[in-house]
Chain A
Amino acid sequence: MTPQTTTTPDQGEVARICDAFQSDPHRMLDILRDVQDRFRWISRETIRTVAEKTALSEIAVEGVASFYAFLSQEPKGAVTIRLCDDIVDRFAGLPEVTEAFENELGIKIGETSADGAYSLEYTPCIGMCDQAPAAMINDIVLTALTPDKVREICEDLKGGKRPQDLVSHRFDDLTPYERAIRMVDNNIRHAGAVLLGTTPADAGLKKALDLTPHQIIDSIEASGLRGCGGAGFTSGRKWRFAAETPAERRVIICNADEGEPGTFKDRVLLTERPHLLIEGMTIAARAVGATEGIVYLRGEYVYLRELLQDVLDDRRARGLLGERIMGMAGFDFDVRLQLGAGAYICGEEGALISSCEGLPGEPKTRPPFPVTRGYLDLPTVVNNVETFCHAARIIDRGAEWFFEMGKKGSHGTKLFSVSGDCLNPGIYELPYGLSIRKLLELAGGEDAAAVLVGGPSGTMIARDTFHRELTFDDLATGGAIVIFSSNRNILEIVEYYMSFFVHESCGYCTPCRVGNVFLQKAVAKFRQGLANPADIEYLKDLSSTIIETSRCGLGMTSPNPILSTLENFPLIYSAMVKPSENRIRATFDIQSAIADARHLAKRRSHIFDKDFGE
């Protein structure tokens, strides 16, 4: 879609965009994404048109428009540049890159140029951590940025090049796959037996046709496969629950939201193994009796949209999707792509379903669980990209083959996304059970002082525990391994991750919405050297309230950066606290506290201004 720079969106065009989605309110996110792409903002008038077309209230439309970071109620530049401001990028030179963009474009972060040509903003991890600093320029991804590269990019843009021309001057002639790998390196460092080695096309699906749905589920359960998205639920059991719930229609959803900072393994599977993924979803559909599928692709991975769309079209053309799959009567299943729009919480399965339904990405009340009542109240299986890929391979090679790999309770292989301070950042497919030390050796990260396993919602461990193992029972992870050398300031890392959770909390429940802001402020106090000994207890106490009362997994894990560093790096906190001398909190500054009153009263204080009356 060609972005236009005029600031008053043509409402006829907005209505036509609604029509393209049959004005279906469940496609609200698609409608608003297209409006945003076309006009660069969602005006009050646009909200009114969309509300009228979809027969919703304006506030319902506005609720969606104001929830997602990639939708805007103010005009954005025709070219919107989003810099990943994760801590990994900061350590990899983000400040210099930002400065170069600001100088070249003449705008600061958060601003749009007066002529409406450019917007510059920060965004959390875009899944390019192995090639940081990275940025999105509209739908294009650029990685390994340097100030020199930035100057070139800005010159090209100002010279009239389209963002895609920055990737290649013959961008239009490239295949979607070529485009993707020109933008982003796969960085596959170690290919294992299950996913990144050879995977014969649709071998699992062919075998699934000869199995009963029961046998497929039995096989998945016997393989020991557990979800790869972080929570590690037994996949076979999930499928069984959905299959056993009486319903006319059932749904298979692939979670390709991959938002946990430091995770980028699904990006590589989506690029290199998209057929395997859809094969796995199709097998799941047969197992649970589903006819509809959705791939929920995070907005940051929009550069993979065409590639995936082509894969779906190709499979439809070859009879691998649609009606009578592989000629089998009654085996009907099709998949649509749902783009997200910048919201980490949409990786949580309930929020993801809300988002697919065209709602703000808020988690759903549990119970009911998605397997009994999910998308549009239908029984729904939500699995991670990697989980579906594994499932397809298990049906091809047999449950035992998979079960034999890894460790008791953690079977098969796992993709690890390794980034940060190491020589070989990238993807490692390894059997479960490897120690952190071994992984650091492989990645050339032996100098690590701290390793964050599982992203900010996981655990930060110190050198004395690098013997710990990557399994569900010891160090569980959806795949993120972020390495920090001894030059890094742990409190800076913790404060960044707390600001991430503040930014990404959906706001539905009190402890997560409000409590995380307090936690972030408290960590900032430590960094400024204004904390006193009681503040350590305060951090623990507040964290436990947030964990215990939050409504979903985000709040239940958001204090982890603090709690795991308090436990594993206690000295960095105790070194920063000072007992107060006069029982006044160090953060309290009487002069600034009375400044407003002074101003209003137009006089100074009898007590606190010693020179009063002189």
Chain B
Amino acid sequence: MSDFTFTIDGTEITAKEGQTIMDAADDAGIYVPRLCDHEGLRHQGGCRVCTVKADGRSVSACTQPAAPGLTVENETPHINKLRRDLVEMLFHEGNHLCPICEASGNCELQAMAYRLDMTAPTKFPYLEPCRPVDASHPDIALDTNRCISCGRCIRASQDVDGKGVFGYVGRGIHRHVAANGEDLSHTDAEVTDFAISSEVCPVGCIIRKRIGFATPIGEREFDKGLIGHKISAKRDD
């Protein structure tokens, strides 16, 4: 099969064989909101924020193969409501106190909340986890109280760094990210790893010691534009 076309919110776009809906949308400059997916990493399909309707069926755009003639709904009030619910769930699952968080302004969860107009107090209860912070490593700390289980650190370490510093343990609401072995100091993690870079963790769990707040608040990534603006900019060109 060669290239084919399908539509997203009425716009016809071209896709290549083997692309997911999200891959094809990215190429066409149409942003599908996402948290667990990241360019260059395997798809996980866990956060569900990329939920779209494909021929009327809800699917995750990051894992669903594009298909000829598919009709995809992306930015509809209904879908954005689902996404807002999911983002609220993630806020309530962890402990998020943005004003005192080093990630504020660079944080994809926070930016997604802005994009989805999550401005009023939310309806869900707070789960208030209390997970120990792993500060054993000389250069890196891991605070999973803010973790959204996107698994990006896990895949980045395995597939890009060739290491395996992180992994999931536990199940259900107790499932969480942990370091390989006893703690971070027992791993071969280095602050120069891709998995540790500011690009990988979408929130503020992986902390590079001594370089916090290097960029002042107000000049950070999402102080400059809504999350997704870089992808949509492609279309405006």
Contact = CB atoms under 8 A, between A and B. Distances in A.
Nearest to A538: B123
A152 interface: no
Contacts of A365: 43, 45, 63
A509 B167 CA distance: 16
Contacts of B46: 508-510, 551
Given A59-B178, A510-B89, A518 B125 contact: yes
A518 B89 contact: yes
Interface string A543-556: 00100111100000
A490 B95 CA distance: 34
B47 A510 contact: yes
Given A57-B164, A515-B89, A538-B123, A551 B60 contact: yes
B23 to A, nearest CB: 14
Given A509-B45, A514-B90, A63 B169 contact: yes
Contacts of B60: 551
A511 interface: yes
Contacts of A504: 172
Interface in A357-386: 360, 365, 367
B178 A507 contact: no
Interface stretch (B97-105, B179-187, B194-202): B179-187
**Which size class do A's interface residues fall under?**
35 or more
B210 to A, nearest CB: 26
B49 to A, nearest CB: 8
A512 B149 CA distance: 13
Given A365-B63, A521-B125, A511 B171 contact: no
B47 A509 contact: yes
A58 B89 contact: no
B45 A59 contact: no
**Which size class do B's interface residues fall under?**
35 or more
B168 interface: yes
A423 to B, nearest CB: 37
A548 B51 contact: yes
Contacts of B81: 545
A264 B180 CA distance: 39
B161 interface: no
A554 to B, nearest CB: 10
Contact of B164 (A59, A549, A551): A59
Contacts of B48: 509-511, 549-551
A518 B148 CA distance: 16
B173 interface: yes
Contacts, number: 113
Interface in A45-67: 48, 57-60, 62-63, 66-67
A468 interface: no
Nearest to B175: A507
B38 interface: no
B47 A60 contact: no
B85 A545 contact: yes
A57 B180 CA distance: 7
A503 interface: yes
Contacts of B191: none
A179 to B, nearest CB: 32
Interface in A492-512: 502-511
A542 interface: yes
B97 to A, nearest CB: 15
B127 interface: yes
Contacts of A60: 164, 167
B166 interface: yes
The CB with the most chain A CB atoms within 10 A, among B51, B89, B125, B178, is that of B89
B37 interface: no
Given A365-B43, A509-B45, A360 B173 contact: no
Contacts of B149: 507, 510, 513
A63 B167 contact: yes
A507 B65 CA distance: 24
B224 interface: no
A178 B48 CA distance: 49
Given A63-B169, A343-B171, A514-B93, A58 B125 contact: no
Interface of B: 43, 45-49, 51, 58, 60, 63, 65, 81-82, 85-86, 89-90, 92-93, 123-125, 127, 148-149, 164, 166-175, 178-182
Interface of A: 44, 48, 57-60, 62-63, 66-67, 343, 360, 365, 367, 502-511, 513-515, 517-518, 521, 538, 542, 545, 548-551
Per CB-CB distance, the 7 closest pairs between chain A and chain B, nearest first, are A507-B175, A59-B167, A514-B89, A59-B180, A57-B164, A66-B169, A505-B172
6 contacts: A59-B164, A62-B167, A507-B171, A521-B125, A545-B81, A550-B48
